[in-house]
Structure 1
Amino acid sequence: MWRVIVLLVGRVIQTSSDIFTLQQYYTAMSGIQGVPEYVETDVFDGREICYYDSNNRRKVPRMECMATLDPQYWNTSTKESQRSQQEFERIFALERYKRNETGGLHTLQMTCGCQYDSKTGKPQYFGPKKAYDGEKLTAGPLEFTYDCIKILKMYILNVSGCVDKTVPPDVSVFLSGFPPSTIMCHATGFYPEVNITWYREGKQVHGSVSDLLPNGDGTFQKKSVINISADTWRAVHLYTQYTCKVEHGTEFFKITEYVYSCKISDIELGLFIHTLRFSNRSGSEGN
Structure 2
Amino acid sequence: MKKLLILFFLCHTVSAVKHSLKFYLTGTSGTANFPEFVGTATIDDIEIGYCDSMKRRAEPKQDWIRNLTEKNPQQLKWYSQKCLGYQQLFKSYTEVFKKHLNQTEGFHILQRISGCEWNDESNEVEGFLRYGYDGEDFISLDLQSITWITPKTQAAEIKKLWDAEKARLVHMKNYYVSKCPKSLQEYLHYRMSFLQRTERTSVSLLQKTPSSPVSCHATGFYPDRAKLFWMKDGQEIHEGVEKGEILSNNDGTFQMSSELDVSLVKHEDWSRYDCVFQLYGVKEDIITTLDKAKIQTNWVSPSEYPIHHHAGKIAIGVTVGATIGVVLVFIGVYFRGRKRYDFLAVRDLSL
What's the TM-score once normalised by structure 1's chain length?
0.51
Q: 2:219 aligns with which of 164, 182, 188?
A: 188
SS at match of 2:190: helix
Distance 1:41 1:120 in 2: 25
CA 1:168–1:252: 2 relative to 1, 3 Å: farther
Counterparts of 1:8-47 in structure 2, within 5 Å, are: 21-24=19-22, 40-43=40-43
SS at match of 2:251: coil
CA 1:52–1:82: 2 relative to 1, 3 Å: farther
Distance 1:78 1:238 in 2: 65
Tell me whether 1:76 sits opposite 2:82 in the alignment.
yes
Contact 1:59–1:78, Cα closer than 8 Å, also in 2:
no
Distance 1:186 1:116 in 2: 30
Counterparts of 1:1-287 in structure 2, within 5 Å, are: 21-24=19-22, 40-43=40-43, 49-52=48-51, 56=55, 58-61=57-60, 62=62, 63=65, 64-67=67-70, 68=72, 70=75, 71-77=77-83, 79-80=85-86, 114-116=116-118, 122-124=124-126, 140-141=136-137, 149=177, 150-157=179-186, 159-165=187-193, 166=196, 167-178=199-210, 180-193=211-224, 194-206=226-238, 207-229=241-263, 231-232=264-265, 235=266, 238-241=268-271, 242-248=273-279, 249-250=281-282, 251-258=284-291, 272-274=292-294
Shift of 1:192: 1.1
Shift of 1:169: 0.8
Distance 2:269 2:50 in 1: 48
- In structure 1, runs of 5+ residues without a counterpart are 1-13, 29-35, 88-109, 129-138, 259-271, 276-287
SS at match of 1:239: helix
Structure 1 letter corresponding to 2:234? G
Structure 2 letter corresponding to 1:221? Q
Contact 2:116–2:180, Cα closer than 8 Å, also in 1:
no
CA 1:175–1:118: 2 relative to 1, 3 Å: closer
Contact 1:198–1:243, Cα closer than 8 Å, also in 2:
yes
Bigger shift: residues 166-175 or 52-61: 52-61
Structure 2 letter corresponding to 1:220? F
Distance 1:247 1:198 in 2: 12
Contact 2:116–2:127, Cα closer than 8 Å, also in 1:
yes
CA 1:75–1:174: 2 relative to 1, 3 Å: same
| Match in the other structure for 1:282 | none
Distance 2:89 2:242 in 1: 40
SS at match of 1:154: helix
CA 1:113–1:225: 2 relative to 1, 3 Å: farther
Greater per-residue helix proportion: 2
Contact 1:41–1:50, Cα closer than 8 Å, also in 2:
yes
Contact 1:41–1:52, Cα closer than 8 Å, also in 2:
no
Shift of 1:124: 3.5
Higher relative contact order (CA 8 A, sep 6+): 2
Structure 2 letter corresponding to 1:174? L
Distance 1:81 1:212 in 2: 36
Contact 1:57–1:82, Cα closer than 8 Å, also in 2:
no
SS at match of 2:137: coil
Structure 1 letter corresponding to 2:190? C
Contact 1:185–1:223, Cα closer than 8 Å, also in 2:
yes
Distance 1:143 1:208 in 2: 45
Contact 1:21–1:113, Cα closer than 8 Å, also in 2:
no
What's the TM-score once normalised by structure 2's chain length?
0.43
Identity of aligned residues (%): 23
SS at match of 2:49: strand
Shift of 1:256: 0.6
Shift of 1:111: 9.4
SS at match of 1:153: helix
